[in-house]
Amino acid sequence: MKRRVPLIVACVLAAILVSSCLPGDGRNTSANPAGFLSGFWHGIVAPVSLVVQIFKPTIRVYEVANTGFWYDLGFWLAIGGGAGGGCAAAGRRKRYRA
């Protein structure tokens, strides 16, 4: 039980930290669009954004006010890295000869 309390506190703090930088939170405007690093971050937190969007409709998975190609590149690198890394590792099997 003593080990679970710090883990729960860390998870709650991580959730608060992640939710403070979600797309659609009003930080980015057409005068100050989201760039590559914002796109990368938004790709990492996309699953969290999807869940939060149920309760707060202003939060989006993808930032509308962005720089275009560079934002898209960062976003898709993060999305692809998260999905591709696990899939690539799962497909490797070692074969042992008897």
Dump pLDDT digits (tens) for 58-86.
888 998 889 999 999 999 999 988 655 55
- Give the predicted TM-score (pTM) of the model: 0.70
pLDDT tops 60 at residue 12: yes
The ranges assigned to domains in the chain are: 14-82
Q: What is the pLDDT of residues 22-37, one digit of tens each?
A: 888 778 888 889 899 9
Closest to 47 measured CA to CA, from 33, 34, 31, 59: 59
Identity of the amino acid at 96? Y
Whether the Cβ atoms of residue 66 and residue 38 lie closer than 8 Å to each other: yes
How far are the Cα atoms of 14, 33, 90 from residue 37, in angstroms, in the given order? 19, 11, 28
Provide the strand spans (E) within 12-94: none
